[in-house]
Chains A and B, each alone.
Chain A
Amino acid sequence: MYTEKVMEHFKNPRNVGEIPDADGVGTVGNPVCGDLMTIYIKVKDNRLVDIKFKTFGCGSAIATSSMITELAKGKTLEEGLQITRANVADELGGLPAVKMHCSNLAADALHAAIEDYYKKHGKGGDTNK
């Protein structure tokens, strides 16, 4: 039911972990629904220089978490905010219809982390200057 790309990311997820001194943290989902995801970001010169994730969830929740870290790394914050659930699913070669909410989660978690960064540092702010 999953594409090879999904399975590959599930087997070898990129950027798993936490960033203890993260500039922004976003958590979405709910263990009650079977999916919970936290994204940690490190920002420099308005760019996502580091990004890590922790996920409780099914195979596609883990694969989409991994994929969004790959898609977002190196992008500007504005570009990060523009990554959608469709982008994540497309990059994974598609997801089963019933699983689309997981990839929604991945984009939401990234957006929440960026919003958290804005809240803490203000738009255009930079902790590392």
Chain B
Amino acid sequence: MLLSERTLSATKRVYMDHAAGRPVEPRVIEAMLPYMKSSYGNPSSLHVFGQEAKRAVEEARAQVAKLINAEKKESVIFTSGATESNNLAIKGVANRNKDRGTRILTSSVEHMSVVNPCKFLTTKGFEAVFLPVDKYGFLNLESLQKELTDKTVLVSVVYANGEIGTIEPIKEISKIVHGKNVYLHVDATAACGQVPVDVRNEGIDLLTISSNDMYGPRGVGALCVKDGVRLEPLLHGGGQERGLRSGTENVAAVVGFGKAAEIAKKEMQTESARLTKLRDRFIDGLLKPIPYSFLNGHPTTRLPDNVSVRYSFIEGESMLLSLDMMGVYASSGSACTAKTLEPSHVLLAVGLKHEEAHGSLMFTLGRHNTEEDVDYAASLMPDIVKRLRNMSPLTPKELRM
């Protein structure tokens, strides 16, 4: 039996870690099945098997293009996921446009798959600048303007922060970046499928999206590349995906991604409205009964699924373990759970002290979460916080019971 199927001391099981992994939508699985069972052709083959596979890939490309309002379906390059898309955008633009400049600007609240390619490029003669954000995580536009020198070739900014939920003013950012004739890459991994993303209207040259983040299968994503953007591939081979991503297409996964995008397009508005209500109810339930508790990120300009909170004097992982024992599965802003012991760079960038960042807890809601779920999870927190605060040497006397 899988560990996740084992009933621990909990009677309830409430999954609230959708940013880490989402269930694949049943309609998506249905759409994928034929391409795993009977349709096994290679889209590059001329015969009927190949053409059937090619048609399926192209239909999925159109579905994804429609979701983000790409100028044409060929703008969509399928990749293995958001990490590859971010790497392709950043390294691809940097390497191909060296003659124009070697400076890359990004924010200080990016995902590691943006941070680390930028850092890597600094070892190859490029310059990377991590721009500051305010206490909500909004990019400092003055500093963007100031740092946008003639040597800059690319600006890479997250559409909405996966950790604290804050949605960036992409249209404004685009105006500033394009005013200097520089490419804008936007990582919309957490946002796309939850909020409308429109590459043409918002002025996005390169857009990263991920399938699992919209209930599609894992291992597939896309980079949407505007016509005329000069880009060097990461993978060289048979020249698939307009030569920007060689390798035989993962047809079943691509088909699933397309279906997930189609469903997201149709159902986003209703589902996001439902989640936003649920999110706000949950935030109230988590914060109101407990003193010294705070919301991370902006209260309203935030992703519908994101609930990131922090409690003073205690540490995130011990809260996570306590929730886990009661059947609530969440995530922590504390790196004690991760491979490094540093707290999240996002929480530090919005100005939290180390010990505050260590006390953070992140819930990401999904299609299956109900009002009952959020009320149950919120109802657990007072006891968990009280127990851990009673154990902590940092807790002020008046809070000890």
A56 and B341 form a contact (CB under 8 A):
no
CB distance from A128 to the nearest CB of B (A): 25
Nearest residue (CB) in A for B390 is A16
Q: B317 touching A58 by the CB < 8 A rule? A: yes
CA distance A58 to B317 in the complex (A): 5
A residues near B334, Cβ cutoff 8 Å: 34, 58
Which residues does chain B contribute within 8 Å of A58, judged by CB atoms?
315-318, 334, 336-337
Contacts of A33 in B (CB 8 A): 341, 354
Knowing A7-B321, A34-B341 touch, does A56 contact B354 (C-beta < 8 A)?
no
Contact with B along A26-43 (1 / 0, CB 8 A): 010001111111100000
Residue of A nearest to B354 (CB): A32
Chain B residues with CB under 8 Å of A117's CB are: none
- Per-residue CB contact flags for chain B residues 340-369 toward chain A (1 = under 8 Å, else 0) read 010100000000011100100000000000
**Contacts of B315 on A, CB cut-off 8 Å?**
34-35, 56-58, 61
Interface residues on B, range: 20 to 34
Contact of A44 with B by CB under 8 A: no
CB <8 Å contact, B358 and A31: yes
Q: Are B393 and A56 in contact (CB under 8 A)?
A: yes
Q: A37 to B392, alpha carbons, bound, how many Å? A: 8
Q: A31-B358, A33-B341, A101-B341 are in contact. Are A54 and B317 (CB under 8 A)?
A: no
Are A55 and B354 in contact, with the CB atoms below 8 A?
no
At the interface, yes or no: B20 with Cβ under 8 Å from chain A?
A: no
Q: Are A11 and B393 in contact (CB-based, < 8 A)?
A: no
Q: Residue of A at shortest CB range from B317?
A: A58
Measured CB to CB, the nearest residue on chain A to B8 is A7
Output the nearest chain B residue to A65 by Cβ-Cβ distance. B391
A residues within 8 A CB of B394?
Answer: 31, 36, 56
Interface presence of B251 (CB below 8 A): no
Say yes or no for A13: interface residue by CB 8 A criterion. Answer: yes
Q: Which residues of A contact B391 (CB under 8 A)?
A: 13, 16, 54-56, 62
Q: Could you say which residues of chain B place their CB within 8 Å of the CB of A2?
A: 321
Q: Which residues of chain A are within 8 angstroms of B37 by Cβ–Cβ distance?
A: none
Instruction: Give the shortest distance, in Å, between A52 (CB) and chain B (any CB).
Output: 11
Q: Are A98 and B339 in contact (CB under 8 A)?
A: yes
What A residues does B336 contact at CB under 8 A? 34, 57-58, 99
User: Please, how many angstroms separate the alpha-carbon atoms of A98 and B334 in the complex?
Assistant: 14
Say whether B341 contacts A59, CB under 8 Å. Answer: no
Chain A residues with CB under 8 A of B392: 36, 54-56
B residues near A62, Cβ cutoff 8 Å = 318, 391
Chain B residues with Cβ below 8 Å from A16 are: 390-391
- Tell whether, in the assembled complex, residue B341 and residue A10 are in contact, meaning their CB atoms are under 8 Å apart: no
A10/B393 in contact, CB under 8 A: no
> Which 6 A/B pairs are nearest by Cβ-Cβ distance?
A31-B355, A58-B317, A58-B336, A54-B393, A32-B354, A34-B358
Which single residue of chain B is at the shortest CB-CB distance from A54?
A: B393
Binary B-proximity of A74-114 (CB < 8 A = 1, otherwise 0): 00000000000000000000000011010000000000000
Could you tell me if A32 and B355 are in contact, using CB atoms closer than 8 angstroms? Answer: yes
Chain B residues 319 to 348 lying within 8 A of chain A, measured CB to CB, are 321, 325, 334-337, 339, 341, 343
Given A32-B354, A34-B354, list of 4 further CB < 8 A pairs?
A34-B343, A55-B393, A57-B315, A58-B318
